[in-house]
């Protein structure tokens, strides 16, 4: 059945959950409002939403090195208290997130960080392709929404499918851990380094490669 915006807004107002979580809950329960509330509670989303306004300034900066020094990651993950930062669940989460960043190579933390020029360029490329295929204008805009959603899921850490459970995004993992631990858990920033990244390497001829190997 079709889920309208007013139902989503009503569910959000009552539970404090995000718009996408509310829409998903209503989709999963065929629009049944009470079942949708229970769904959000069972998933721990309602509990996590209540902590969304809390300040998380403790936590840890975690490092991860992969491939014998080929890839390195630094990530700051915050909690509300230093006590939780020493929790085994929190520690395991920080390692998982750092490993994910190493493997998935996100460019940004969230879609809000993506530069407007980059977004417009991405849309322009897809729009040109769709126009060349002869797609009508109204269809192009709908297709672009899907294209951009996929783009965000590729470049934004919070929207990427978690490498250990691709049915969940990193943001959903944070919500689950917030509910499980009982404190707001958030990612503040990260940096990923890959050996030689950005350096233009000189292409050698076959003769040069042989000469180099022979010394």
pLDDT of the residue at 212: 62
Looking at the domain 5-50, which fold is it? Helicase, Ruva Protein; domain 3 (1.10.8)
For the chain, give the DSSP string.
-PPPHHHHHHHHHHH---HHHHHHHHHHTTT-HHHHHHHHHHTTHHHHHHTTTS---EEEEEEEEETTTTEEEEEEEEESSHHHHTSHHHHHHHHHHHHHHHHH--SBSSGGGS-HHHHHHHHHHHHHHHHHTT--HHHHHHHHHHHHHHHHHHHBGGGSEETTEEEEEHHHHHHHHHHHHTS--EEEEEEEEETTTT--PPPPPHHHHHHHHH-
pLDDT in tens, the chain (215 residues): 567 777 887 777 677 677 777 888 888 888 888 888 888 877 766 655 555 556 667 899 999 999 889 999 999 999 888 888 888 999 999 999 999 999 999 999 999 999 999 999 999 999 999 989 888 888 988 899 899 999 999 999 999 999 999 999 999 999 888 888 888 899 999 999 999 887 766 555 555 655 665 65
How far is C-alpha 14 from the chain's CA centre? 26
pLDDT of the residue at 55: 61
Q: Taking the model in full, what pTM does it have?
A: 0.68
Q: Report how far residue 10's alpha carbon sits from residue 36's, in angstroms, rounded to the nearest whole number.
A: 11
The domain segmentation of the chain, as residue ranges, is 5-50, 58-194
For the beta carbon of residue 90, count every other beta carbon within 10 angstroms.
21
- Quote the CATH superfamily of domain 58-194: Elongation factor Ts, dimerisation domain (3.30.479.20)
User: Among residues 40, 43, 42, which one has the least CA distance to residue 14?
Assistant: 40
């Amino acid at each position: 059945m079709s889920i309208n915006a007013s139902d989503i807004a009503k569910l959000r107002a009552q539970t404090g959950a995000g718009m996408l979580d509310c829409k998903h809950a209503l989709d999963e329960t065929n629009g049944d409002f009470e079942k949708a509330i229970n769904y959000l509670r069972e998933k721990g989303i309602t509990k996590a939403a209540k902590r969304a306004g809390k300040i998380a300034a403790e936590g840890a900066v975690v490092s991860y090195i992969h491939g014998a020094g080929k890839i390195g990651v630094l990530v700051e993950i915050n909690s509300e208290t230093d006590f939780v930062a020493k929790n085994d669940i929190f520690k395991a989460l920080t390692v998982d997130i750092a490993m994910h960043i190493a493997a998935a190579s996100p460019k940004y933390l969230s879609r809000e960080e993506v530069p407007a020029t980059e977004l417009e360029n991405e849309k322009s490329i897809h729009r040109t392709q769709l126009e060349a295929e002869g797609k009508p204008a109204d269809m192009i805009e709908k297709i672009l929404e899907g294209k951009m959603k996929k783009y965000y899921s590729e470049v934004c850490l919070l929207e990427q499918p978690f490498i250990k459970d691709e049915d969940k995004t990193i943001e959903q993992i944070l919500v689950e851990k917030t509910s499980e631990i009982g404190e707001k858990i958030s990612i503040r920033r990260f940096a990923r380094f890959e050996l030689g990244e950005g350096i233009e390497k000189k292409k050698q001829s076959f003769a040069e490669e042989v000469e180099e190997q022979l010394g």
